[in-house]
Chains A and B, each alone.
Chain A
Amino acid sequence: MGAPETRSEPTPPLAEVYRAHHAFVWRSLLRLGLPADRVEDAVHELFLVVARRLPEFAGRSSLRTWLFAIAVRVAQSFRRDAGRERRHLARLNHEPRAGASDPYSQRDAAVVLYRLLARLSEDQRVVYILVELEGMTAPEIAGELGVKLPTVYTRLRAARAAMERAASEFCEEPRRSP
């Protein structure tokens, strides 16, 4: 999936896209800040969109960046839901403890990484995930996100610096018991 597809390539069927990219969209949604217990629903929602939009896939960039762009929208939508739910529970004085039911809470490295990613702006987080975690190229990302190449590099530099600062701060914090 490294090279961008061209317009001449036929659109792959939904089943093929699902099989090839299910794991990718799963981890992308986690990295975009969804709690693990919401990811299955979010993946379902994402592929409902893919089923509708796949015939329109223009091949301007790789299928993975196209899917990631949908994942960003789905994650935003689910976060809005979570925000509404939190506000509703707060009104009822039932604020849930963050991450209390997160089955990934034992996976320290992943949890720490997601916490640091959550501190980035949305634009920076998207570029950081695609380049640093998925190994995509800046031109590939620029094509699908509809931004100029220098903008991608600027966001990437800022994201890397912010992540390094955050990692430094995290390492300086006293170790907390899990």
Chain B
Amino acid sequence: MNEERDVLRGWRLEEAASSVPPDGAAERGWDRLAAALAAGAAPRADVLAPPGRVLWPWVVVGIGLLAAALMAWVVWPESEPEPERVVIAAPVVEVMAEAPVVVPLPVRAPAPAGVAAPVVERAAPRVKREVLKPAVLEDSFAAELRRIAAAQAALRDGDTGAALRVLKEHAVLFPAGQFAQDREALRAVALCTAGRAQGKQLAAKFLAAHPGSIHADRVRDACGA
């Protein structure tokens, strides 16, 4: 078996050296991703479930709760309203499996009989606050993307003035945003394309700060740096 191990090791080494993305694939992919996200593209539903998380325990819990609710409905007298409320556990499992943002259901202690409805009503504002938090984050992310994608589109159309305006807006709104590096690269490209001397200075600064950036080649091409 030693011979096979050596052969496999050799193949692994050769494969490691050859399995690299083609030139420009990373930059092309990023442009495509930014445009898709700005347009609100969603990933395939069958790959969206949280990776590494086993969902079947939640399904089992959901089925268990459903069964408990049914048992309670059968055993308890009709005047008891609580078991019907417990049935909402089943849709919650569906939400965890499919929704893009998992919002944990607030867990509350069971209320005394007869006061269940008021407690649920008082809880509503808290649920809203927990839902709003990730939504706000997504909005700022999407807002950044929209501006970067708009700047890219303006550059493609040769409208450097429009590109610079959008990039300035991005810099004001998101000075340390997720796309700050993209913004600086695009700004250098736009200024160089417009023939402004400041572009070369920005390009030199950008390339010194981010020599391995996926935008480095584009900045060099535009600014001759």
Which residue of chain A has the shortest Cβ distance to B5 in the bound complex? A164
For the complex, what is the distance from the CA of A16 to the CA of B30, rounded to whole Å?
11
In the complex, whether A19 has a CB less than 8 A from a CB of chain B is yes
Which residue of chain A has the shortest Cβ distance to B214 in the bound complex? A19
Contact A164 B1 (CB under 8 A): yes
In the complex, whether A150 has a CB less than 8 A from a CB of chain B is no
In the complex, whether A23 has a CB less than 8 A from a CB of chain B is yes
In the complex, what residues of A have CB within 8 A of residue B100's CB?
52-53
In the complex, whether A110 has a CB less than 8 A from a CB of chain B is yes
In the complex, whether A69 has a CB less than 8 A from a CB of chain B is yes
The stretch of B13-21, B65-73, B87-95, B159-167 in contact with A is B13-21
In the complex, what residues of A have CB within 8 A of residue B50's CB?
53, 56
For the complex, what is the distance from the CA of A146 to the CA of B16, rounded to whole Å?
27
- In the complex, which of the residues B4, B12, B51 contacts A164, with contact meaning CB atoms closer than 8 Å? B4
Contact B179 A15 (CB under 8 A): yes
The A contact surface, by secondary structure, is helix
In the complex, what residues of A have CB within 8 A of residue B44's CB?
45, 74, 77
For the complex, what is the distance from the CA of A56 to the CA of B102, rounded to whole Å?
8
In the complex, what residues of B have CB within 8 A of residue A168's CB?
1, 3-4
Which residue of chain A has the shortest Cβ distance to B27 in the bound complex? A22
Instruction: Using C-beta atoms within 8 Å of the partner chain, give the interface range for chain B.
Output: 35 or more
CB distance from A5 to the nearest CB of B (A): 14
Using a CB–CB distance below 8 Å, which chain A residues touch chain B? 13-16, 18-19, 22-23, 26-27, 30-31, 40, 43-49, 51-53, 55-56, 60-61, 65-66, 69-70, 72-74, 76-77, 80, 104, 107-110, 112-114, 132-133, 144-146, 163-165, 167-168, 171
Using a CB–CB distance below 8 Å, which chain B residues touch chain A? 1, 3-5, 7-8, 10-12, 14-16, 18-21, 25-26, 28-30, 32-33, 36-37, 41-44, 46-54, 100-102, 134, 137, 141, 178-179, 181-182, 212-214
- The 19 sampled A-B contact pairs (Cβ below 8 Å) are A15-B181, A18-B29, A22-B25, A22-B26, A23-B26, A26-B25, A43-B25, A48-B42, A49-B51, A52-B101, A61-B52, A66-B52, A77-B46, A110-B19, A113-B12, A145-B52, A164-B4, A167-B4, A167-B11
